[in-house]
Amino acid sequence: MMTIDLSGRRALVTGSSSGLGEAIAMALSSAGAKVAINYRNDKVVADAVVARIVRQGGAAQAFQADISVPEQVTRLFAEVGAAFGGLDILVNNAGIDGGAANCADSDPDQWARVIAVDLQGSYYCARQALHWMLPQKRGVIINITSVHEFIPWSGYSAYTSAKAGLSMFTKTLAQEVAASGVRVLAIAPGAIKTPINASVWEDPQGLVDLDQKIAMGRMGEPDEIGQVAAFLASDLASYITGTSIAVDGGMLIYPDFRHGG
């Protein structure tokens, strides 16, 4: 029987004190990795994730940083390196959507903030991670994009632009480092049931509308993203790099067309 084994691996998951990041951190830990939990503001929540991992027999530690600030990213990786002795897995999960606003009515500062967190922050973290991974000739970087790297979303041009940019960054970085033993991938989640979108799935009418956009007819669970992340980070995925894996219940196969055009 094949099992996902990350024993001895050291992982950092950005934005992992809740939601998808927490689920990814839990999955990596369950597979044997030691996990750095990154948070921006709420240490209490991050410490609770660490405690949960420890209760399940894993090893974890919380680290504060706003990944959109280069100096804080440098400090983050120095602290993780000192605590863990290096890094084998980076999951760039931290992200924001910025709220809805059509381009003509949008706030340029808010637009730039989304790009700074979702795209530039992932670049800052990947750059630091490679300082560890390239010398050891091994490592995996997983960028969390979205189905909106493919699907336009009116009112969220910053978010879709950031996620599409992160997709191409994934491919370009994978091309740069493939010969060095480092793999770079993206996971493109669809509609996943997390606190950030609770206003949709807690509303019966909103949930019905959303489910009609998903071929499988239901939202995904955070664990379903975590499991894919653990697989991609493992040696079972050793020949996969430079691509986005859509975990979306079939949003990208346009279920509205199942009855014809």
Tell me the DSSP string of 126-195: HHHHHHHHHHHT-EEEEEE--GGGTS--TT-HHHHHHHHHHHHHHHHHHHHHGGGTEEEEEEEE-SB--G
The pLDDT value recorded for residue 11 is: 99
The pLDDT value recorded for residue 205 is: 86
The pLDDT value recorded for residue 259 is: 81
CATH of 10-193+221-253, one of 3.40.50.11030, 3.20.20.140, 3.40.50.720, 3.30.365.10: 3.40.50.720
Write down the catalytic residue from 156, 159, 239, 254.
159
The pLDDT value recorded for residue 55 is: 98
The pLDDT value recorded for residue 207 is: 86
The pLDDT value recorded for residue 250 is: 97
Low-confidence spans in the chain with pLDDT less than 50: none
Global pTM? 0.97
The pLDDT value recorded for residue 80 is: 98
The pLDDT value recorded for residue 202 is: 84
The pLDDT value recorded for residue 146 is: 97
Give the CA count within 13 Å in the CB-facing half-sphere of 132.
25
**193 and 231 in contact (C-beta within 8 Å)?**
no
Distance (Å, whole) CA 6 – CA 168: 27
Structure tokens at 122: 């992932």
Give the CA count within 13 Å in the CB-facing half-sphere of 157.
11
- pLDDT by residue (tens digit) across 130-149? 999 999 999 999 999 999 99
Is 39 noted as a catalytic residue in this protein?
A: no
Distance (Å, whole) CA 64 – CA 132: 20
b (16+ CB within 10 A) / e for 166-205: bbebbbebbeebeeeebbbbbbbbbbbbbeebeeebeeee
